[in-house]
Amino acid sequence: MQQGVYDAFAKGLAERTAKLKIGNGLDIDSGMGPLANERRPGAVSALVEDARAKGANIMTGGERASSAGNFYQPTVISDVPMDADIMAQEPFGPVALIRPFASMDEALEQANRLPFGLAGYAFTQNLHTANLVSDALEVGMVGMNSFAISAPDAPFGGVKESGFGSEGGPEGLDSYLVTKAVHMY
């Protein structure tokens, strides 16, 4: 990835993320609601602080949104080193990590290196790249140019240590069925 493209993407994402309104998840004006439980803001903070200590650049956010409630600022972190804990642990919070890569092979190797594989996301304007990446990602669901990976008629599930099988969609019925092949001559 060219440095100028990387810098422009990181800056644009940070600027848009900084504009998100934090508040009640049921409020239509809120862009970011609370985290799942009272432990999450502290856990997210620990991961962000570890990344910062290892040289990552916190471009926006990076702190609890308030002392009341389970709110954490939407956060964008660039230049995240591979040894940062957040590169191997799911933050389950509003954190976007940005890391440059020199080649598509390197990017896919980084994406597939963990034993988890629930979902992967990629953004490109090139159809060939979109097909290559979606085929190569070792995940159960891919969001291509979108973060929307769930729909009632589509399977939801991961691979590797992120689950076996799918729920939802026609594929979600497979675990309830006994498949039998009968051959008669």
Per-residue pLDDT tens over the stretch 125-164: 999 999 999 999 999 999 999 988 988 888 888 899 998 7
pTM reported for the whole predicted model: 0.84
How far is residue 177 from each of residues 154, 155, 174, 181, 182, measured CA to CA in Å? Answer: 18, 16, 5, 13, 15
48, 68, 100 — which closes off a domain? 100
85 closest CA partner among 47, 44, 42, 40: 47
Domain membership flag for residue 118 = no
Question: What is the dihedral sign for C-alpha 24, 26, 28, 34?
Answer: positive
Structural domain of 29: 1-100
Q: Are 22 and 61 in contact (CB under 8 A)?
A: no
Same domain assignment for residues 50 and 94: yes
Same domain assignment for residues 9 and 80: yes
Domains: count for the chain: 2
CATH number for the domain harbouring residue 34: 3.40.309.10
